């Protein structure tokens, strides 16, 4: 009976089986990596970054891109999926995100949708190749913080030194 029901379904209504794996193209090296459908994006990014050479920029996140369409970014907890014909999964690096020469790649978006704090609680956040900026304002803030710490220390030291006199004065008035 079940075999007869299967034969009655037209070929147009039957859906092709989902792909067994997804291909993510690393934009830094051009290599393709295969992942099982449903893999977490943060795992894929961390694995791609581990396999990169020392001179290559690290991947920040994965996005699905199609010529003429707005790219779809995968958050760290998102599962990788195939969006169908023409959509390609690729990594996004600092170079890609900030609009340096992409020569033949998909068009870059005009807005920067990357949240650098995303996924920080899981310890799998993509490492950025940007160097920290140290300038006079940063050093000035550190110096002011140290001065504040020493002033507070002096205040509490004096308060503890004169605490017995304060207690004695309170007791004499009561």
pLDDT top residue among 14 and 80: 80
Q: Is the pLDDT confidence value at 126 over 80? A: no
Which tokens sit at 160?
Answer: 């503890």
Q: Quickly tell me which residue has 């503890």 as its tokens.
A: 160
- Greatest Cα pair distance, the chain, in angstroms, is 104
Average pLDDT, the chain: 76
Quick check: 143 pLDDT over 70?
yes
105 three-state secondary structure: coil
Instruction: At 163, list the tokens.
Output: 């605490």
Q: What is the DSSP string of 14-72?
A: SPPPPPSEEEEE-TTT--EEEEETT-BHHHHHHHHHHHS-TTSPPEEEEEEE-TTS--E
CATH code reported for the domain at 2-122: 3.10.20.90
Of 30, 69, 9, 42, give the one whose Cα is nearest residue 125. Answer: 42
Asked if 122 and 76 count as a contact pair (C-beta separation under 8 A), the reply is yes
* pTM attached to this predicted model: 0.45
State pLDDT tens for residues 14-73.
666 665 788 888 887 888 888 888 888 888 888 888 888 777 788 888 988 888 888 888
* For the chain, domain boundaries: 2-122, 136-173
């Amino acid at each position: 009976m079940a075999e007869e029901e299967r034969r009655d379904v037209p070929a147009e209504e039957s859906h092709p089986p989902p792909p067994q794996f997804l291909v993510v193209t690393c934009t830094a090296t051009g290599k393709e990596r295969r992942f099982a459908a449903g893999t977490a994006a943060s795992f894929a990014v961390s694995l791609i970054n581990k396999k990169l050479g020392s001179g290559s920029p690290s991947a920040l996140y994965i996005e699905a891109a199609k010529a003429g369409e707005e790219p779809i970014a995968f958050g760290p907890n998102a599962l990788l999926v195939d969006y169908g014909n023409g959509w390609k999964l690729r990594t996004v690096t600092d170079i890609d995100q900030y609009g340096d020469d992409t020569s033949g790649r998909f068009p870059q978006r005009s807005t920067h949708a990357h949240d650098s704090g995303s996924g920080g609680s899981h310890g799998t956040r993509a490492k950025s190749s940007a160097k920290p900026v140290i300038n006079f304002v940063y050093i000035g803030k550190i110096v002011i913080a140290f001065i504040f710490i020493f002033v507070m220390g002096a205040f509490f030291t004096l308060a503890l030194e004169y605490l017995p006199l304060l207690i004695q004065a309170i007791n004499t008035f009561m």
